[in-house]
Amino acid sequence: MINNKEFERVGVISVGGYVPRDRISIKEIAQARGKDGDKIMASLGVRQKAVAQRDEDTASLAVAAASRAIIRKKKTVRVDELGAVVVGSESHPYAVKPTGSMVADMLGMRGEYITSDLEFACKAATTGMIYVASMIEAGVIENGLVIGADVAQSKRGDVLEFTAGAGAAAVWLGNKKYPWVVRLERMNSFNSDTPDFWRREGEKYPQHAGRFTGEPAYFKHVVEGTEKFLKKINKKTAEFDQVVLHMPNGKFPQRAAKKLGVTTEQLQKGLVVEEIGNPYSASSLLGLVKVIEEGKKGERVLMTSYGSGAGSDSFSFEILRSGKEDEWSLSKQLKEIKQLSYVDYLNQTRKEQQ
């Protein structure tokens, strides 16, 4: 049971997103597989996906996103005030050795802060937000950085190859001491044991249960989770200006939206998946970052993430300050891209052995 608690002391100080520059189009992959690119694009609702360079990994992506959140507020907040750093990912560089402390160290933070890595498929970071927000609310820390980052791996020939992308999003939460761009109002979580998508210890690629990943998994947790949340906080979807849902592809969030009575207008801004694919733990958070960067004062935002295994986290926010485009905006990163050939893509994504 989770209390229907309204956060009184938690807001967003700053956000930052990092999407690698390179893209490979669905058509390009399909062609290499001898499949019909147009049909696959239409069925997945994705045009292209982001591809990390060979020397980028979850930690380097996380640092890139976090630095942007920090540099945007460098005049008002110091990095050594950081109370917590939490990185949620499905591709932590180590099985044992936390990404969180590596990222904190690279950001210049030493010593007294709280960190440990999180894993819950694509919702690892949003659950991190619940933990960090709660610590801030309880007065244990003044502020904390939550980062979702992934360099998604997929087996050649698997349908996941079309969408498994890369990216990172950082949300810097803080108490009333700091100027907020967004207020965090409430949250909820809804979980179960559902084997829709998994990767065993030591295995290189994840497995997924085909069509089972739909109704009993994604839709159940996203739709029912959101409905339970809204009922709890006594709100209707129509009361939100922006809605961000986890995006494993372009179709699932649109279908879930329909079931929830969410319109295309509400969903559109955060629907980054069409252009970048699915960066797993950064998926819904990048949608949220975009909505905040392009937000208007007074807008209300609803976000529900999804993690296979399975579960969803829901949040309600109020935007307090309108966003302004700068050199790190996601809108820029969605435009300044480079297309790869399938051969470049293979080179960039192969795991180097020594």
Partner 1 sequence: MKSAAKLWRERGERLKYAGKRGAVVSWTKILESPVGFEADPYIVVMVRVGKEIVVGQLTDLEEPVIGEKVVAVIRRLGIAQKGEVLEYGVKWKKA
Any catalytic annotation for residue 246? yes
117 binds partner 1 (CB under 8 A): no
3-class secondary structure per residue, 199-220: CCCCCCCCEECHHHHHHHHHHH
Cβ distance to partner 1 smaller for residue 227 or 344: 344
Stretch that binds partner 1, among 60-68, 133-141, 278-286, 306-314 (CB under 8 A): 60-68
Closest distance of CB 113 from partner 1, Å: 18
218 neighbors 196 (Cβ within 8 angstroms)? yes
Closest distance of CB 55 from partner 1, Å: 4
Which residue among 92, 208, 221, 246 is the active-site one? Answer: 246
80 binds partner 1 (CB under 8 A): no
252 neighbors 259 (Cβ within 8 angstroms)? no
354 binds partner 1 (CB under 8 A): yes
105 binds partner 1 (CB under 8 A): yes
For the residues of 59-117, what is the DSSP string, one character each?
HHHHHHHHHHHHHHTTTT--GGG--EEEEE-S--S-SSS-HHHHHHHHHT--SS-EE--
Any catalytic annotation for residue 90? yes
Closest distance of CB 347 from partner 1, Å: 7
- Report residue 179 as tokens: 């100027």
Stretch that binds partner 1, among 26-34, 40-48, 100-108, 241-249 (CB under 8 A): 100-108
125 neighbors 96 (Cβ within 8 angstroms)? no
Q: How far apart are CA 330 and CA 291, in angstroms?
A: 10
18 SS3 class: strand
Q: How far apart are CA 284 and CA 275, in angstroms?
A: 14
Closest distance of CB 64 from partner 1, Å: 7
Judged by CB under 8 A, the chain residues 30 through 59 that form the site for partner 1 are 53-57, 59
Vertex 276: Cα angle to 248 and 184 (nearest 5) = 70
85 neighbors 109 (Cβ within 8 angstroms)? yes
Number of residues that bind partner 1 (CB under 8 A): 19
Vertex 252: Cα angle to 247 and 254 (nearest 5) = 95
Closest distance of CB 351 from partner 1, Å: 10
Contact flags string 221-260 toward partner 1, x per CB under 8 A: ----------------------------------------
Cβ distance to partner 1 smaller for residue 44 or 87: 87
Q: How far apart are CA 244 and CA 229, in angstroms?
A: 14
Cβ distance to partner 1 smaller for residue 55 or 112: 55
- Report residue 98 as tokens: 């936390």
Considering only residues 14, 25, 60, 153, which one is a binding residue for partner 1 as defined by CB under 8 A?
A: 60
Closest distance of CB 333 from partner 1, Å: 13
The residues of the shown chain that bind partner 1, judged by CB under 8 A, are 53-57, 59-60, 63-64, 67, 71, 93-94, 102, 105-106, 347, 352, 354
* Positions marked active-site: 90, 122, 246
